[in-house]
Amino acid sequence: MKKVLLTGISGYIGLHCAAELLQQGYAVKGSVRSLSKAEKLTDTITKFVDPKGKLEFCELDLLKDDAWDEAVSDCDFVMHVASPFFSKIPKDENELIKPAVEGTQRALKAAHKAGIKRVVLTSSMVAMLGDVKGDENIDQNSWTEVNAKNATAYLKSKTLAEKSAWEFVKEKDMELVTIHPGPVYGPSLSDDLSGESMTLFKRIMTGELKQMIHASINMSDVRDVAKIHVLALENEQATGQRLIVATERAHSYQEITELLKTKGYEKVSTKVAPNFMVKFLANFNSEMKGMMPYVGKKYEGSVMASKNIFNWEPIPFDKMVLDTAKSVENVLNSEC
């Protein structure tokens, strides 16, 4: 039985990766910042798949060397999902960049030392946005220019972390595959709505969010993202690939609200904020400032490589949106 070190198992994507790995017969060692989370995470995962004794946990910190070598010592693969993310602009961009880059390096160094052949790394489409001016057709060869005017700390963190990974494996006997989702939605495996994806849908569905930004990009279903992470572990064609895992075309945030409105979510607002207003508010609001790489812009990524390598079809946009809404609705109803 092959074992995978899965970093960031407690996150939105991490939980789905854990469930998918277990369903496909892998043993999972999930990293957490505190082992106090282990029991709750086991209970959450067990609701969707029986671990059958193949789930364990270890304690790792992206900013500390402690325990990384021990964590990978009995594993066959590393799936490095853990990376900090929040939409607000931090006062110090290194709050995002440092753990992203250093965590990636720690995962790769430990894997190499343990003789692990392949690492699958969660990157993002935000590492592929060119000069961050929009109307960009992006593919496996696209990179975000980190010195671009609108390159935020998050864009820099994902781009620099991925670049450091490719640089690391260049002269090593190691294989790297990077997975690039767009904004990730889809049902949550937990009842935690505090993450960026679930929070957005909660705010839309409760009517708290009165206007959406005008922006379009390929969006990703978390179930697809987890599936491709797992398939990439042993698919030879995936070796050395940067794989976009998302819808086949770009979608706007207004499409989300309009779909929800037509399906009976009455509190949803379908209004779109004028670009000039968002840009003005960005001068005073760190969350608005974090949206500036996308406001008034369209980024369209090609998923052909992923489709061909894995004989995969993305989950339809409508299903992704409605399944996300249902997941959020279930949690909100249980809190009543």
Q: Which residues are catalytic?
A: 158
Phi, psi dihedral angles at 101 (to 5 degrees): -70, -50
CA distances from 285 to 49, 117, 155, 289, 333 (A): 42, 44, 18, 6, 31
Q: How far is CA 71 from the centre of its chain?
A: 22
Say if CB 185 and CB 251 are below 8 A apart: no
SS3 sequence of the chain: CCEEEEECCCCHHHHHHHHHHHHCCCEEEEEECCHHHHHHHHHHHHCCCCCCCCEEEEECCCCCCCCHHHHHCCCCEEEECCCCCCCCCCCCCHHHHHHHHHHHHHHHHHHHHCCCCEEEEECCHHHHCCCCCCCEEECCCCCCCCCCCCCCHHHHHHHHHHHHHHHHHCCCCCEEEEEEECCEECCCCCCCCCCHHHHHHHHHHCCCCCCECCEEECCEEHHHHHHHHHHCCCCHHHCCCEEEECCCCCEEHHHHHHHHHHCCCCCCCCCECCHHHHHHHCCCCHHHHHCCCCCCEEEEECCHHHHHHHCCCCCCHHHHHHHHHHHHHHHHHHHC
CA atoms of 83 and 99, how far apart (whole Å): 7
CA atoms of 216 and 253, how far apart (whole Å): 7
**Both tokens of residue 303?**
């998923």
